[in-house]
Chain A
Amino acid sequence: MLLKDVVCPYCACLCDDLDVTVEGNRVTGVDNACDLGAHKFQAGNRLPGPVRPTEKGWDRVSREEAIGFTVDMLLSADRPLIYGWSTTSVEAQSLGIHIAEEIGGVVDATTSVCHGPSILAIQEVGHPGCTLGQVKNRADVVIYWGCNPIEAHPRHLSRYTMYSDGFFLENAFKERTLIVADIRPTESANVADEFVHLKRGGDYAVLSALRAIVRGKTGSIPSHVAGVSRAQLLRIGEVCKNAKYGAFFFGMGLTQTVGKYKNIRNAIELVDELNRHTKWTLTPMRGHFNVYGFNEVCTWVTGYPYAVDFSRGMAFYNPGETTAVDILARKECDACLVVASDPAAHFPRAAVEHLAEIPVVQIDPVVNATTAFCDLQIPVAVTGIDAEGTAYRMDGVPIRAKKILDLGYPADSEILREVYQQIRDRKKVREVKPV
């Protein structure tokens, strides 16, 4: 059976034009997707049911036992941490945040290790954003700063920028100017009209210099700023000012380098400055397919986008203090529920060491590095493949992902709803409404 307009649940481009062929509950063909997306539809590595480690290996446990264990762990902890969320639906994310509130825990998402700094900067100076459709139809100058979309978001260029004609750009490849800024040449830099080769950690200074140049204050700019010549900076300043519509995209090369959110603030203020001359917008290249969704849901529910501490019954937010890496590295939490992510593969050693010392439950479709640190793993359906759910694209557009297979796994929202209900039952909270 050929399914049209399937949504790809891999990266935050959330391409919604895939053709997927399904035969007998198995994906046999994926068209229009990039390699990353196509691979996800055909990946294996799924556990048959909940498992717990024993002296000899892994034992199967029933779903009831697994949920009971999770509830016990969360209710007995003095400072439980609930982490993950970027590869599941907003429905599951909402339940996770409500669970954190019930148990007085801290809830954080992978945002804190990717675009958390972008959000901090946006909270300081706002977000001159737009949809990707605007970029596709209007942008004649595109900047990719600290990101490599050809390898990380492979269809970004073909759907929205260099290789995508738009309403006002009939021959995008010729009419758009592409600028790539990075600390090393990348595949994306190879196709750029202008490559800004920065020294590592030089982003803040280069962005400050560009802001001054756009303001016409060139006097104090030295001959080179973090490896970039004054002449190139002046040239880029002119290209940006003369754009009809400019789009600034940035990735973790900017958010996670020295200066962090101040780099993003500087980029936003450069875009603000350019808006005195012409139209410019800025969009973070969000990574996982629904990492943006967590920030949306968490903001609706708590007023804050991630890293929310409910220890005292109300929401407190302070990245650097209430973020998962900091809490784990400081050994502040005494239990951890991981949902739809793999912290053991990505966190610094000190944080992972603490995961090994405390009870950990993981709710995730596949075996990953965090499995080795778990006291229990509950396998669930993959949102967008064998479970439906809503996700947010990198520009904040919500897209409904379909269920195209039925492999018998529960959606993570089902497991989380049972956990939530049991917690409320044990706490004798009268009204239990599905969330």
Chain B
Amino acid sequence: MRVILTAKPRKKPLIPVEAETIIPRHFRQGRDLTVWEGNRERSLRDIFDVMVERTAAAAEEVEVILRGDVSRFKRVGEYMDAGKITIEGDIGMHCGNFMTGGTIEIHGNADGWLGREMRGGRILCHGNAGHYAGSGYRGEKFGMKGGTLEILGNAGDFAAEYLAGGEVIIHGNAGDLPGVEMVNGTLTIHGNCSRPCGNMTGGTCTVLGTVRGMLPTFRKNSTLLHGSDKIPLTVFEGDIANRGKGILQVREYSYDD
């Protein structure tokens, strides 16, 4: 089953739309779906041209395609458990919140809190992600616990905050404090970042670019050669400010002294 949702022009296009109803399972069930545009509840058909091709026996067989300007659409794919969502352009905040299965592919950029508290499944973002990719909600003790979040562009600040499981891969640069409060899981940053892994207690973070403002509370342990390219990395343990036993391995680094 393929569901193509093409966003209609809106009178106030910058007002956010909350669209957590957009997950594959709901379309297989043929439910009447609504979304919220600001403080007004709207039928999905007021906001999108909806085209449905074929039927599906299970949510796994449903692909939802979002076309047009959905850059202000929040919470798409929230609690998604199966199937696929393809976003042809940019997507708004909280895409893939709490998802447990299935795949979300974003061809443009994603706004903040991409894959927040993800539990399983896969998100592939071809563009950049905003702040808090793969993080937790305010005050939560755990962020992402499972699944894979892969960002081909750059990520903003606080990426993988409270990472507690699963894998976050950032092919570009990350902003400030990636992996802050990380307790488990794997974070790989192919580019540069600043002050990774403050207060971490567990998990592994690898930075294949340069770290600026390396925190003074990581103990240098050893060196290793990473991957088939045998990239030399320095291995630190920390954050000792927090009795941490996390692993931070970096290619190049400088302190803010």
Binding site for B on A (CB under 8 A): 77-79, 103-105, 120, 123-124, 199, 201-202, 204-205, 208-209, 211-212, 215, 217, 219-227, 258-259, 262, 265-266, 269, 310-312, 317-321, 330-334
Contacts and interface: CB of A to CB of B under 8 A. Distances in A.
Contacts of A320: 112, 131-132
Interface stretch (B9-17, B43-51, B222-230): B9-17
Contacts of A226: 256-257
B21 to A, nearest CB: 12
A55 B137 CA distance: 47
B138 A123 contact: yes
B93 interface: yes
Interface residues of B, number: 40
Main secondary structure of the interface of A (DSSP, over half): loop
B256 A334 contact: no
B39 A104 contact: yes
Contacts of A262: 177, 180, 198-199
A174 to B, nearest CB: 33
A331 B112 CA distance: 16
25 contacts: A77-B38, A78-B12, A120-B139, A199-B256, A202-B256, A212-B217, A212-B240, A220-B217, A220-B218, A220-B219, A220-B240, A221-B216, A223-B257, A225-B216, A225-B256, A226-B257, A266-B199, A269-B199, A269-B241, A311-B36, A311-B38, A318-B138, A319-B138, A321-B112, A330-B14
B195 A220 contact: no
B26 interface: no
A124 B158 CA distance: 15
Nearest to B11: A78
Please list the 8 inter-chain residue pairs (A to B) with the smallest Cβ-Cβ separation, ordered nearest first: A104-B39, A78-B38, A79-B38, A123-B139, A211-B241, A224-B257, A208-B241, A331-B14
A334 B257 CA distance: 46
B54 interface: no
Contacts, number: 119
A79 B199 contact: no
A78 B13 CA distance: 12
Contact of B217 (A103, A105, A202, A208): A208
Q: Among B40, B138, B219, which residue has the most Cβ atoms of chain A within 10 A?
A: B138
Interface in B48-63: none
A361 to B, nearest CB: 18
Given A215-B243, A226-B256, A266-B241, 7 more contacts: A208-B216, A209-B217, A220-B220, A221-B217, A225-B216, A311-B38, A320-B131
A318 B137 contact: yes
B195 A204 contact: yes
Nearest to B136: A124
A318 B40 CA distance: 20
B46 to A, nearest CB: 13
Contact of A217 (B12, B40, B240): B240
Contacts of B81: none
Contacts of B18: 311-312
B215 interface: yes
Q: Among A208, A215, A332, which residue has the most Cβ atoms of chain B within 10 A?
A: A208
A199 B213 CA distance: 12
Nearest to A223: B257
B198 A204 contact: yes
B176 A259 contact: yes
B45 to A, nearest CB: 19
B177 A225 contact: no
A321 B137 CA distance: 12
Contacts of B29: none
A357 to B, nearest CB: 10
A157 B177 CA distance: 35
A412 B109 CA distance: 44
Given A259-B176, A321-B112, A332 B14 contact: yes
B214 to A, nearest CB: 9
A124 B242 CA distance: 14
A105 B39 contact: yes
Q: Among A103, A124, A202, A219, which residue has the most Cβ atoms of chain B within 10 A?
A: A124
Contacts of A105: 39
A208 B215 contact: yes
A157 to B, nearest CB: 30
B219 to A, nearest CB: 5
Interface in B190-246: 195, 198-199, 213, 215-220, 239-243
